[in-house]
Structure 1
Amino acid sequence: MARQEAEKASIAATQADQARVTLSQSFQVELEYAEQKLLEVDQAKAAALGAANTANAAASDATTKGNLAESKAEIAKDAADHADQARTALLQAADLKMGEMNQVIETANYAVTDAETATGRANTAADNADIATSGAQEATVDAIAATNMVLANMVQLELRDDMCLWMITPDTYQGVTFKIESGDLIAVIQ
């Protein structure tokens, strides 16, 4: 009877030992699983920290670039303002220059008008000169005709004081008066 109890006790001890081993193995598996999960958590944490650092760096870089862009925008705005001021100055200078040019053009127009007036007067004077020349030529022709007429109507020749004195009739013909000076026949156009 005691032997049977001893065998039961031995079997129970063996089973207990096997249960302990099984439990120990199970615990080991759980421990390894827990350690694996912990490692994964640590890795995820490290990755998250890395991503956060990258995000912070990107944000900082973006801020820097944003500040730089804003600074460049201000510079561009100043440049645009300066360009607008320069454009305004150029327009004002152009207006002044245009005013000066208009004054010069107006003066030139006056000069052209004066020149045209002078040219007209010169042309008129030339026309008048042509008319006067034509009249003089006509008068010369008339004088020659009158001279020829007078010579044709010569009536007598008389010698006086060793000079030849022409006695002529008529002494006036077509506005031309003929007279004798020192024996020469002279025609005087009135």
Structure 2
Amino acid sequence: MRAVPAPKVWVTGLTVGAIAAVTVLAVQADKGPHPTATAAARPSASASPGASPAPSKSAESTAVPDGSGTGRRVVYSLGQKRVWLVDASDAARRTFTVWPGTVSPDPGTYAVSSRAMATTGSDGVQIENIIYFAAKSGVSIAFSNAVDGSSPPPAEGKQTGGVRTRAADGEALWTFGETGTAVVVVK
């Protein structure tokens, strides 16, 4: 009759084998490509209410469009798909790219008419930091960011007025764009 190893021996053998397999996989994974993050991927958006956000590097390298007015305002360029947060001294405190919906406002000066912390966008995406400033063809136009961080293209055949931002930019815009703040839309 053959001796059967005790259960402890089997458990020990399986544990050693599992540790060896995990070690081999970890060494192989370490040799592969690694994702990297840049400072531009997650800009800081912390600010006290009513304060201007801190300048970002992109704010220094991209000038506020000519003809966009003076004083504290949000400037939205349709052609550049870019927004500037401009303080009372006409200095760009932050700038960032956006993803417009299918309905764009006409060039002109508007004001933040209302704000909402969160809702579901007309495209079915959960959004937050919603800042309404215009309407066109029965569609409300507002800045917002997707809660999940996505920036999908607008659904075909739907009229959407959401101008989507990255989450950190949405937070900065929420802090800056109080009700009544001027929003200047340029070509």
Which fold has the larger relative contact order, with Cα–Cα distance below 8 Å and residues 6 or more apart in sequence? 2
More helix by share: 1
TM-score, length-normalised on structure 2?
0.26
TM-score, length-normalised on structure 1?
0.26
More strand by share: 2
- Structure with max Cα Rg: 1
